[in-house]
């Protein structure tokens, strides 16, 4: 008898716990609290300090490049890009999953109405075997049955499921925003590449004109007996080398333009006529206000999405823990029948059943699921922290790249100017016979390299600026994830 007392005591405690839960309800598992910046190893300031700069609107960072065509292309990509369309569909899917999770809080009711029409025919047979025609009678029968089932959320499994679905929907929203910003950045990068290729093609063709003049001069000097055929052959070789670079540059231009077409949801060559009109390499401000590292937690959509994934994983712990406890189900049915609609309630029956279901033995499956949920939450935290640190790394690398590109551009501008002056002097001196043709070729080649280096530095500065804007989380307006906002709401994604 004494051995049964602990079991009885535990049973009474369990019943008391279930009764209290039925009256008040409880939510098992840890309540999610966003990690503080210190737990994510976020420093107070960046180690790389950029030049002081005024704050700008990061939500439309591409406008800082002051290029209307680039702004238009980003707007086209925002509305037509296929990757964005995929993210939009996944967001809608996540929001429907949230509605599905919320529906578990309410009973499920099903109804099954029915109707029948029965005809009865009777006849009689006399003793002499003659069949006497009988009569027919008809009866109608109507019925209505309703079944209801409900599983009260005693230990918070449904509430945790709603939390997880809500966090997943938020994560899908930030994934959409992240896709939009990434597409905007890729459009800008390919636009810069296309303009760089155009600039290099223009430099090559301009250089060919000068080299044609040099070839003519070498020929005249050869005919006049003032130079050997070596000068003419060297001039031909230099011109051919320059001409050989043009097809490759044109291929680079075509590749960038084709990519822009696909990014905007069009055929690869759809933008060729638009992009063939020459344009400058975009140039933005020389400085960008980066703020403090903690801003990364608010501004970058990938960081916001990783934080929401952590919240969803934390809620899953409560779901797994609630599965260890009894599950209450309440079922009811109602039926009515009659021969006519007014008499449908002549016969009414109803039942109500409530029962508890408790897993007694499962080989440790439920406890393994709980441990697995905790491990998944640990992994989600590590992913969140890693995303934060990578974001900070992107910002610091972006600041350094922009600073280096700006310094290089200044020196390349000086080199281009000096090389141009030297080439002018060399051409003049060669005509008068003061220098040999090799010296002229060297000065021309130095000028070509300096001009290409300058436009490459300009493109590098623009690319570094774009990368820094993206690293800072530019391309959208930070704020809570809206639950019922239009998918293409311009205030929440890249917009013109």
**E strand map for 39-130:** 108-125
**Would the CA dihedral through 6, 9, 13, 19 be positive or negative?**
positive
pLDDT tens-digit readout, 196-206: 999 999 999 99
pLDDT digits (tens, 9 = 90+) for 86-123: 999 999 999 999 999 999 999 998 988 887 877 777 76
Average pLDDT value for residue range 280-292:
86
Q: Mean pLDDT of all residues in the chain? A: 85
Domain segments of the chain as ranges: 24-106+155-324+364-492
- Among 51-65, 328-342, 412-426, top mean pLDDT goes to 412-426
Q: Residue 214: its pLDDT value, please?
A: 77
Band of pLDDT at residue 56, cut at 50, 70 and 90:
confident
pLDDT of 404 higher than 60: yes
pLDDT for 6: 42
pTM for this entry: 0.83
Lowest mean pLDDT among 125-129, 379-383, 402-406: 125-129
Q: Retrieve residue 135's tokens.
A: 């009569």
Residue 17 has pLDDT above 60, yes or no: no
Q: Could you tell me how many helices (H) and strands (E) the chain has, helices first?
A: 10, 4
Residue 387: pLDDT band (50, 70, 90) is very high
Percent of the chain with pLDDT over 90: 54
Pairing of β 131-150 and β 108-125: antiparallel
pLDDT at 483 > cutoff 80:
no
- Per residue in 423-478, pLDDT tens? 999 888 877 778 887 888 889 899 999 999 999 999 999 999 999 999 999 888 88
- What is residue 44's predicted lDDT score, i.e. its pLDDT? 87
Query: How far apart (Å, rounded) are the C-alpha atoms in residues 481 and 474?
Result: 16
Q: Positive or negative, the Cα torsion across 446, 452, 454, 456?
A: negative
pLDDT at 469: 93
**CATH (one of 3.40.50.1370, 1.20.1600.10, 2.60.120.380, 1.10.3720.10) for 24-106+155-324+364-492:** 1.20.1600.10
CA distance 41 to 47: 14
- Smallest CA-to-CA distance from 467 within 192, 257, 97, 157 is with 192
Per-residue pLDDT band at 419 (split at 50, 70, 90): very high
State the pLDDT at residue 347: 73
Mean pLDDT of the 338-354 span: 76
Of 16, 115, 93, the C-alpha closest to 336 is 115
Residues 230-249: tens digit of each pLDDT? 777 888 888 899 999 999 99
Q: Which of 93, 185, 103, 186 is nearest to 487 (CA)?
A: 93
pLDDT for residue 228: 67
| Pair 195, 282: CB distance under 8 Å | yes
pLDDT for position 25: 56
Q: H or E element: which one contains 268?
A: none
Residue-level pLDDT at 174: 95
Share of the chain above pLDDT 70, in %: 86
For residue range 208-234, what is the model confidence (pLDDT) as tens digits? Answer: 988 888 787 777 767 767 666 777 788
Q: Which long-range contacts (CB under 8 A, 24 or more apart) does 96-103 make?
A: 97/165, 97/168, 97/169, 98/162, 98/165, 98/166, 98/168, 98/169, 98/483, 100/165, 101/158, 101/161, 101/162, 101/164, 101/165, 102/162, 102/165
Among candidate residues 429, 437, 443, 441, the one with its CA nearest the CA of residue 228 = 437
Q: Which pLDDT does position 407 carry in this prediction? A: 92
Would you state the pLDDT for residue 118? 76
pLDDT recorded at residue 18: 45
Residue found under tokens 């602990």:
6
């Amino acid at each position: 008898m004494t051995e049964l007392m602990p079991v009885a005591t535990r049973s009474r405690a369990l019943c008391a716990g279930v009764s209290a839960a039925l009256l008040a309800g409880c939510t098992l598992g840890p309540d999610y609290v966003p990690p503080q910046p210190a737990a994510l190893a976020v420093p107070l300031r960046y180690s790389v300090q950029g030049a002081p700069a005024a704050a700008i609107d990061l939500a439309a960072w591409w406008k800082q490049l002051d290029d209307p065509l680039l702004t238009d292309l980003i707007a086209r990509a925002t509305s037509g890009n296929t990757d964005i369309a995929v993210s939009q569909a996944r967001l809608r899917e996540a929001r429907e999953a949230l509605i599905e999770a919320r529906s578990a809080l309410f009973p499920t009711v099903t109804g099954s109405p029915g109707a029948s029409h029965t005809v009865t025919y009777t006849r009689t047979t006399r003793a002499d075997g003659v069949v006497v025609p009988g009569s027919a009678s008809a009866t109608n029968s109507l019925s209505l049955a309703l079944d209801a089932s409900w599983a009260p959320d005693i230990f918070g499994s449904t509430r945790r499921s709603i939390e997880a679905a809500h966090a997943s929907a938020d994560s899908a929203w930030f994934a959409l925003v992240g896709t939009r910003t990434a597409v905007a950045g890729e459009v800008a990068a390919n636009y810069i590449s296309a303009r760089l290729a155009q600039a290099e093609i223009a430099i090559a063709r301009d250089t060919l004109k000068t080299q044609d003049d040099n070839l003519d001069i070498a020929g005249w000097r050869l005919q006049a007996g003032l130079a050997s055929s070596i000068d003419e052959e060297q001039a031909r070789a230099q011109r051919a080398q320059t001409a050989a670079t043009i097809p490759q540059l044109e291929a680079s231009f075509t590749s960038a333009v084709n990519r822009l077409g696909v990014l905007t949801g069009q055929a690869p060559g759809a933008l060729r006529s638009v992009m063939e009109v020459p344009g400058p390499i975009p140039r933005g401000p020389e400085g960008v206000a980066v703020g403090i590292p903690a801003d990364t937690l608010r501004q970058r959509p990938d960081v916001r999405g990783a934080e929401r994934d952590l919240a969803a994983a934390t809620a899953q712990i409560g779901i797994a823990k609630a599965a260890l406890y009894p599950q209450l189900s309440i079922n009811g049915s109602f039926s009515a029948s009659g021969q006519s609609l007014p008499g449908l309630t002549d016969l009414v029956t109803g039942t109500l059943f409530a029962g508890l279901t408790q897993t007694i033995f499962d080989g440790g499956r439920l406890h393994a699921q709980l441990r697995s949920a905790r491990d998944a939450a640990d992994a989600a935290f590590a992913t969140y922290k890693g995303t934060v640190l990578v974001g900070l790394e992107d910002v610091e690398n972006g600041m350094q790249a922009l600073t280096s590109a700006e310094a290089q551009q200044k020196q390349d501008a000086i080199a281009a100017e000096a090389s141009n002056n030297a080439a002018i002097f060399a051409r003049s001196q060669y005509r008068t016979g003061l220098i040999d043709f090799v010296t002229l070729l060297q000065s021309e080649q130095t000028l070509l390299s300096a001009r290409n280096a300058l436009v490459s530095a300009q493109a590098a500065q623009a690319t570094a600026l774009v990368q820094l804007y993206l690293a800072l989380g530019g391309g959208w307006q930070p704020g809570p994830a809206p639950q019922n906002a239009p998918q293409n709401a311009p205030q929440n994604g890249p917009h013109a």
